[in-house]
């Protein structure tokens, strides 16, 4: 919607519900812009970085909004499957597409990293197990 000028914003709005995602409203000096953002989808392209304590991933698509946050968690390979295990820990919450694990892990320790995206519409998932059920660690906010 465009207009010559404006002051303030609507106090209420009546937008239709969305099956997935949310409405984002932006007030510009001469326009009202409505965007539909999706709930953060599953993160793809997770891979080790230049050192063993680094991990990187692909950015979420633009439909997830301009600045999603990524939650990075680490778990012990000895405690598979994922979800509620003592060694699971939140390594980082970041807007970058990489993170460095600052923990000094003992030599020979096997670990895995999972990353999920979050945005104003909701929290994405950490992927699914081989049987199709969601991975459910709860160590990151």
Q: Taking the alpha carbons of 57, 58, 63, 65 in that order, is the dihedral positive or negative?
A: positive
Range of the domain at 10: 1-37
Same structural domain, 8 and 61: no
Q: Indicate whether 138 belongs to any domain.
A: no
- Mean pLDDT (whole number) for 26-54: 89
Q: Indicate whether 136 belongs to any domain.
A: no
Which of 46, 138, 57 lies closest to 97 in space, CA to CA? 57
Same structural domain, 98 and 65: yes
What's the length of the chain?
A: 141
Question: Are the C-beta atoms of 58 and 43 separated by less than 8 Å?
Answer: yes
Same structural domain, 19 and 64: no
Same structural domain, 14 and 79: no
Q: Indicate whether 12 belongs to any domain.
A: yes
- Report the C-alpha gap between 22 and 120 in whole angstroms: 8
So what's the pLDDT on residue 46? 94
Same structural domain, 67 and 96: yes
So what's the pLDDT on residue 96? 96
Full-model pTM = 0.82
Same structural domain, 33 and 101: no
Domain count, the chain: 2
What confidence tens digit (pLDDT) does each residue in 62-118 have? 989 888 999 999 999 988 888 888 989 999 999 999 999 999 888 888 899 999 999
* Strand order, beta sheet including 54-56: 47-48, 54-56, 98-100
Q: Indicate whether 134 belongs to any domain.
A: no
- Report the C-alpha gap between 112 and 73 in whole angstroms: 8
């Amino acid at each position: 919607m465009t207009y010559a000028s404006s002051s303030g914003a609507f106090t209420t709005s009546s937008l239709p519900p969305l099956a997935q995602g949310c409405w984002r409203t932006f007030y510009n000096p001469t326009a009202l812009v409505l965007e539909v953002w999706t709930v953060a989808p599953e993160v793809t392209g997770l891979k080790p970085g230049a050192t063993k304590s680094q991990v990187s991933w692909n950015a979420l698509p633009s439909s997830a909004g301009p600045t999603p946050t990524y939650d990075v968690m680490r778990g012990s390979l000895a405690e598979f499957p994922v979800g509620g295990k003592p060694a699971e820990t939140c390594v980082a919450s970041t807007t970058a597409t990489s993170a460095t694990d600052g923990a000094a892990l003992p030599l020979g320790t096997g670990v895995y990293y999972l990353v999920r995206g979050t945005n104003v519409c909701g929290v994405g998932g950490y992927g699914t197990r081989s049987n199709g059920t969601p991975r459910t660690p709860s160590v990151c906010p």
